[in-house]
């Protein structure tokens, strides 16, 4: 017998808040300023046009890209202990706030064991969340689902009353690594305030041998190179620029003193890039810095959490110690 589908009267409807609106003029001005800086640099948010988002999904399936599968394995192996520890901080059926939710798949895998009473999915554009939350609502008809369009890279603050009582702030995927340490500290402090006495469950990529780190950002198939180079396509459309992708190559390296992977685009030969009202000359070998991904030691990240005001820190890791899932509370 087929299962009975929820009726309109028993199925909730997702709610949406758009707190961040994409302003192409402001984005173009930001990108142009970065290109004219010395050295040139462009925010990694410019990776994520439609093609860039699909390329990143492909990256997560690569043999070299360990973070996604390693984090998933940690959650699978430790789910009962993680859920017990979360509920000790938040109580049963907490509000769950998912930062950088994307397709919401990582959070949804925790729903059967965590059973949040409300799920708040936060991403830079609420339009990206519509389809994901509508699908989740069909699977969890009684759950209160909310999408929030917010650029929390500058400030993490949600509409009043969305978080009522101790909450779980969920930030998987090691995206905290895209923040320089001072900015990461600011975000963690805001996450602690948002949790309201609950907890933060966060995925963190850990320091490991340089060869493993660099391979994860410079794979043999060249998917990460295509992802990086596609940023120039995005800038061409956004600025009306004339980058020739064939004149640039992908560079990924581990900067040990800063404990971060850096991605750059390097000019193969001297070239001048033009866009309406401006231009920038690049010498052969000159680079555009496109991303940082900081890697932490377990002790270093635990100390950062304590600096952010968390009194209790727990960690789960894989056997190799490549990746850490931290739960912080208090």
Share of the chain above pLDDT 90, in %: 88
Same domain, 304 and 271: no
* Residues 165 and 115 grouped into a single domain: yes
Q: Are residues 186 and 323 in the same domain?
A: yes
Does the predicted model carry a pTM greater than 0.75?
A: yes
Q: What is the reported pLDDT for 136?
A: 96
Instruction: Read off the pLDDT of residues 131-168 as tens digits, 9 standing for 90 and up.
Output: 999 999 999 999 999 999 999 998 999 998 999 989 99
Same structural domain, 139 and 56: no
Given pLDDT bands bounded at 50, 70 and 90, which one contains residue 280?
very high
For the residues 248-261, what does the mean pLDDT come to? 98
Claim to verify: residue 140 and residue 203 sit in the same structural domain: yes
Cα separation, 253 vs 123, whole angstroms: 28
Q: Does position 8 have pLDDT exceeding 50, yes or no?
A: no
Of 163-167, 289-293, 321-325, the range with the lowest mean pLDDT is 163-167
Element at 26 (helix H, strand E)? helix 24-36
**Residue 285: its pLDDT value, please?**
98
Question: Measuring CA to CA, which residue among 223, 240, 206 is closest to residue 323?
Answer: 206
pLDDT tens for 39-69 read 999 999 999 888 998 999 899 999 999 999 9
pLDDT band at 6 (very low <50, low <70, confident <90, very high): very low
User: What is residue 139's predicted lDDT score, i.e. its pLDDT?
Assistant: 94
Indicate whether 95 and 121 sit together in one domain: yes
Q: 285 lies in which domain range? A: 39-60+210-294
Res. 11 pLDDT band, cuts 50 70 90: confident
Does residue 278 form part of some domain?
A: yes
**Average pLDDT for the chain:** 94
* pLDDT tens readout for residues 165-206: 899 999 999 999 999 999 999 999 999 999 999 999 999 999
Task: Indicate if 242 and 120 belong to the same structural domain.
Answer: no
- CATH number, domain at 309? 3.40.50.150
In this predicted structure, what is the pLDDT of residue 198?
A: 97
| Strand ranges inside the chain, DSSP E | 15-18, 40-41, 95-99, 118-123, 144-149, 167-171, 199-205, 248-255, 260-267, 271-275, 278-282, 287-294, 312-317, 323-329
CA distances from 102 to 127, 128, 286 (A): 11, 7, 34
Indicate if 115 and 70 belong to the same structural domain. yes
Does residue 232 form part of some domain? yes
Domain count of the fold of the chain: 2
How confident is the model over 18-27, as pLDDT tens digits?
A: 998 878 899 9
Residue 127 banded pLDDT, cuts 50, 70, 90: confident
In a domain, 4, yes or no: no
Residue 108 and residue 171 in one domain: yes
Let me know whether 311 and 240 are in one domain.
no
Cα–Cα distance for residue pair 62/223, rounded to 1 Å: 9
Q: Report yes or no on 2 lying in a domain.
A: no
From the list 100, 78, 115, the residue with the least C-alpha distance to 316 is 78
pLDDT at 137: 96
Q: Binning pLDDT at 50, 70 and 90, where does residue 10 land?
A: low
Q: Based on the domain organization, do 50 and 133 belong to the same domain?
A: no
Task: Report yes or no on 244 lying in a domain.
Answer: yes
Give domain status of residue 25, yes or no: no
Cβ-contact 216, 226 below 8 angstroms: no
Q: What is the predicted pLDDT for the residue at 7? A: 47
Q: Is position 248 within any domain? A: yes
Cβ-Cβ contacts under 8 Å for 51 (sequence gap 6 or more) = 230, 233
- Asked, for residue 21, whether it belongs to a domain, the answer is no
Spatial distance between the Cα atoms of 229 and 290, rounded to a whole number of angstroms: 10
pLDDT score recorded for residue 142 = 94
Q: How much is the average pLDDT of 200-220?
A: 98
196 and 251 belong to one structural domain: no
């Amino acid at each position: 017998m087929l299962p009975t589908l929820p009726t309109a009267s028993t199925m909730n409807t997702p709610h949406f808040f758009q707190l961040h609106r994409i302003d192409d003029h402001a984005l173009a001005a930001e990108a142009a300023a970065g290109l004219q800086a010395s050295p040139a640099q462009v925010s990694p948010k410019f990776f994520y046009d439609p093609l860039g988002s699909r390329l990143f999904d492909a990256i997560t399936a690569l043999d070299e890209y360990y973070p996604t599968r390693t984090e998933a394995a940690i959650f699978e192996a430790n789910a009962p202990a993680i859920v017990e520890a979360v509920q000790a901080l938040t109580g049963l059926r907490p509000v769950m706030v998912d930062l950088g939710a994307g397709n919401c798949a990582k959070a949804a895998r925790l729903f059967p064991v965590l059973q949040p009473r409300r799920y708040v999915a936060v991403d830079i554009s609420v339009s990206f969340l519509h389809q994901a939350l509508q699908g989740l609502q069909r699977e969890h008809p009684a759950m209160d689902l909310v999408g929030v369009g917010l650029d929390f890279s500058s400030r993490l603050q949600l509409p009043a009353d969305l978080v009522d009582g101790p909450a779980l702030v969920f930030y998987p995927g090691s995206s905290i690594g895209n923040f320089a340490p001072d900015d990461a500290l600011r975000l963690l402090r805001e996450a602690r305030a948002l949790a309201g006495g609950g907890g933060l469950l966060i995925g963190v990529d850990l320091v490991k041998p340089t060869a493993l780190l660099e391979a994860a950002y410079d794979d043999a198939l060249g998917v990460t190179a295509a992802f990086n180079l596609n940023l120039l396509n995005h800038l061409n459309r956004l600025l009306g620029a004339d980058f020739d992708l064939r004149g640039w190559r992908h560079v990924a390296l581990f900067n040990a003193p800063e404990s971060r992977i850096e991605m750059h685009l390097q000019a193969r030969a001297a070239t001048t890039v033009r866009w309406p009202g401006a231009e920038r000359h690049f010498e052969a070998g000159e680079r555009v810095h496109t991303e940082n991904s900081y890697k932490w030691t377990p002790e270093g990240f635990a100390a950062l959490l304590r600096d952010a005001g968390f009194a209790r820190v727990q960690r789960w890791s894989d056997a190799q110690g490549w990746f850490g899932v931290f739960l912080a509370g208090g």
